[in-house]
Structure 1
């Protein structure tokens, strides 16, 4: 059976940077055990391939990149921003801010690369809501990094704005397996409309 996703559905993919996902990435050592526990990279690649095959647009929510002017002159940067600056994580122009293999956007298939978020939520101080509303998107299917920081913050914001939120629990990772599991098993079900695996989500489209 050929799946027919609703026309108002899109995927939001958060921070699929090499610095997070590649074994040589600056932050990968913090995520490696959680990525391995749920084979998350393979599931992310399955998600992107399925979306591109079935004309489901992917909205890429990417973190701001470190450069000389990053948070220069700021009087109240967050601890996350100060740590990012200190460790040069997601450094502008570096290999680390390239998108991981087989997760790259395809603009010809309707993918959208958003303005970059400064802290956690890909809605806050970005064009994500505007881009979604312009395209009539109501159903958001969400994955990426990390489960209990940027992904969860973006999903909570989407929920508050009235979007239908599906979170993919094996297309993410945390800074520990315990943190990821706490997010996906305890916290996400409190606000998300659905918490599924990638295969479960695809199967729900096939059944529909």
Structure 2
């Protein structure tokens, strides 16, 4: 990564209460992996490091379920049907609040981009446009989940020409095996760097 942070941004994917909080609708699916990696602690460390170094954080958030969600769709995915049936990430609910301690700060230059419908926070959103308006070239990514939305977003960033850094301890999976497969086997195939929050933050101090 470039030694300057002026062209760097952090991207955090889906830090919703429904995923991260013990009372969230989908937390039970992630709880084991979140605990094993201590993911929330490391996500908070990621946010803190970004704040100290004046690195903006871009929030890639999943579309929220509401009346009429995917109504009339002919090609909705199984994930979209499940979200609709279970009212996961329900618009206006506590579950779609950003987990406490991870909230955006406009004074830090943080940006909440338009919401993604499937997995990638680039597809059908303004994330790429928002980044290029600010000459961002290096992306440091964390969030949920390791082998779905986070990986999809990182792959898309790679294809668009961004320098991609992925953080193995700032994520989780629906199973430990899925998370480990992503972070140990798949991410190194395309990411420019696969590291931890602590090692990334330490590199900023050099």
TM > 0.5 between the two?
A: yes
- How does 1:118-197 map onto structure 2 within 5 Å? 118-197=117-196
- How does 1:80-99 map onto structure 2 within 5 Å? 80-99=79-98
Secondary structure, in 3 states, of the residue corresponding to 1:162?
coil
Match of 2:202 in 1: 203
Separation (CA, whole Å) in 1 of partners of 2:123 and 2:179: 23
Q: Over aligned residues, Cα RMSD in angstroms?
A: 0.8
Match of 2:23 in 1: 24
Secondary structure, in 3 states, of the residue corresponding to 1:168?
strand
Separation (CA, whole Å) in 2 of partners of 1:192 and 1:159: 7
User: How many residues get paired?
Assistant: 204
Secondary structure, in 3 states, of the residue corresponding to 1:29?
helix
Q: How much does 1:6 deviate?
A: 2.1
- Contact 1:5 / 1:56 at 8 angstroms: preserved in 2? no
Separation (CA, whole Å) in 2 of partners of 1:27 and 1:64: 15
- Contact 2:5 / 2:53 at 8 angstroms: preserved in 1? no
Q: How much does 1:97 deviate?
A: 0.2
Q: How much does 1:206 deviate?
A: 1.6
Separation (CA, whole Å) in 1 of partners of 2:134 and 2:68: 33
Per the normalisation by structure 1, the TM-score is: 0.97
Further displaced range: 43-52 or 116-125: 43-52
Separation (CA, whole Å) in 1 of partners of 2:49 and 2:191: 22
Per the normalisation by structure 2, the TM-score is: 0.97
Query: Which ranges of structure 2 fall in alignment gaps of 5 or more residues?
Result: none
Q: How much does 1:109 deviate?
A: 1.0
Runs of 4+ in 1 over 6 A off after TM superposition: none
Q: How much does 1:52 deviate?
A: 1.5
Secondary structure, in 3 states, of the residue corresponding to 2:205?
helix
Secondary structure, in 3 states, of the residue corresponding to 1:43?
helix
